[in-house]
Amino acid sequence: MSTGTPFDRGHTDGLMSFLAASPSPYHAVANAAARLEKAGFQQVRESEPWDAAPGGRFVLRGGALIAWYVPESATPATPFRIVGAHTDSPNLRVKPVPDTGAHGWRQVAVEIYGGALLNTWLDRDLGISGRLTMRDGTTHLVNVDRAVLRVPQLAVHLDRQVNEGLKLNRQRHMTPVWGLGESREGDLLRFLGEESGLPAEEITGWDLMTHSVEAPSYLGRERELVAGPRMDNLLSVHAGVAALTAVAQRGSQPGTIPVLAAFDHEENGSQSDTGAEGPLLGSVLERSVFARGGSYEDRARAWAGTVCLSSDTGHAVHPNYPERHEPGHHPLPNGGPILKVNVNQRYSTDGRGRALFAAACERAGVPWQSFVSHNDVPCGTTIGPITAARHGITTVDIGVAILSMHSARELCGADDPYLLANCLTAFLDG
C-alpha cells in the first residue's frame, strides 16, 4: 500500500537514471563501478597480486562485479555479509550471423534470452547495446539508444482470433525489422562500427542485445509507482551499490566484511564463469582472506559466520489475477521488501534467515512483507539456493514486489527501492 507521504525519492531518481544508462549487463557493471570509484573503491585485477590494506575494492569480469569493503578492524577470519544480485534481464540477443531479412525487409536475427514475456517486445521501439570485442582482444561498450529496431505484430485483420490468445513462434515471429531493401552480410557490424567510432573490419566478437528506448518514469495519480525496464534485477544491484558505499563512507567498523556480488546469467541458470554457480565469488572471498595473511582455517572460520541476502524481485499481488497468488500472502507495492520462502528450496530462506532479515529491517526502521507461491503455481528460483549450496553459507532470499516481471517494462512502488537500500545498509553494517 502507499504510505501517503513519499520517502526519499532521490534514491528512486537515481535508480531510474541507472536503469536508463544500463541497457546491458556490461553497462550495468561499468556504471556500478563508476559509482564505487566515486566512493573511494579501487578496482583490482584478478591477474595481479592483492594487498592487505583496508578499504574498498572491486573486481570486474564481463557482466559481473564483486565489491567489498575491508574495515581496519578486520582479521583474516572475519566473516562476510554479502548482498547477492544479478545484472542480466530477459531480452532479445543478436545471433552470430545477424544479417537477415525477407520480402524486401532488412532484419536482425535474434535469440530469446531467458524467460522473456514475448508479447511485451512487440511493436516497441528498440535500441541495441552490449559489448564489441576487437581483433586485438580489447572490448568496447556500445549503446545505440534510439529507435532502430522493431518487432511488428500481425494486424488484427490478418489474425481475427488474436484476442482469444496470442501465440508467438520464437523462431519465426520475433525477428525485428530495421530497414528496407536486401540484407547484406556485415550490415549490422558496419552500422555499429560507425556508431561507436570503431573499424568494423576489426570487430571479431560481440555480445549484443536489444532494449526498449522508452525512459523509466513515475506513474500514477500521486507518482507512487515507477515503470521501467530491467528492474529484475538492476533494482537490487543499484540498492546494493548504494548500501555498500553508504557503509564504506560512514567509516563503520562492523564485525563483518560487507560485500556486493552482482552476477550475470541468472536468467538462464547461472552456469557460467560470471554466474552464481561459477567460482567467481568463492575465488574473490578466498583471495581476500589470503591477502590478509589468512590460512585455510581462517577461511573456514570466516565462511562459518558468513550470511548472504540474495536480493531479487518477486511478485506483487496482481489485482486482475488474485487467484494466481497464495491467498494468505499478498505483498503490495510500497509495503517494503519481501522475504521469499519456499520449503522445497527454490528459495533458500529458513527460520534463522527470517530472523536475520527481520532484525536488519527493524534496525533500518523498514516495514517488510512475506512472499510464498500458490501451491498450484510453480515457484521460480534465484541465485540464493545456488549460493547456499556452492559455498555452504547461510543465505536468505528477499527482494521487492513488482508487477509484469520479465516484461520489457516492469512496475514497482516508488518507495520500495529506497526501503530496500536502507534494509541492505543495515544488514551490511550489522
Place of cell 557460467: 272
DSSP class of 391: H
Q: What is the DSSP string of 133-185?
A: EETTS-EEEEEEEEEEEBBPPPPGGG-TTGGG-----TTTS-PPEEEES---T
Cell of 4: 501517503
Position 90: which residue type?
Answer: P
Can the peptide bond before residue 233 be classed as cis, meaning omega within 30 degrees of 0?
A: yes
Distance of CA 139 to the CA centre of its chain: 21
User: In whole angstroms, what is the distance from residue 335 CA to residue 1 CA?
Assistant: 6
Asked whether 410 and 231 are in contact (CB, 8 A), the reply is yes
Decide the pairing of beta strands 80-86 and 257-263.
parallel
Residues 6 or more apart whose CB falls under 8 angstroms from that of 365 comprise: 422
Cell of 330: 499478498
- Residue 318 annotated as binding? no
User: In whole angstroms, what is the distance from residue 27 CA to residue 384 CA?
Assistant: 24
User: In whole angstroms, what is the distance from residue 110 CA to residue 181 CA?
Assistant: 19
Cell of 396: 536468505
Q: At what angle do helices 383-391 and 280-291 cross, to 10 degrees?
A: 50
- Residue 86 annotated as binding? yes
Helix, strand, coil shares of the chain as percentages rounded to 5?
30, 30, 40
Asked whether 234 and 87 are in contact (CB, 8 A), the reply is yes
359-392 burial code (b ≥16 CB/10 A, e <16):
ebbeebebebbebbbeeeeebbbbbbbbbbebbe
- Residue 11 annotated as binding? no
Position 324: which residue type?
Answer: R
Place of cell 520500495: 416
Residues 6 or more apart whose CB falls under 8 angstroms from that of 164 comprise: none
Query: Whose CA is closest to 389, among 245, 273, 282?
Result: 282
Binding-site residues sit at 86, 157, 406
Binding-site residues for Zn(2+) sit at 86, 157, 406
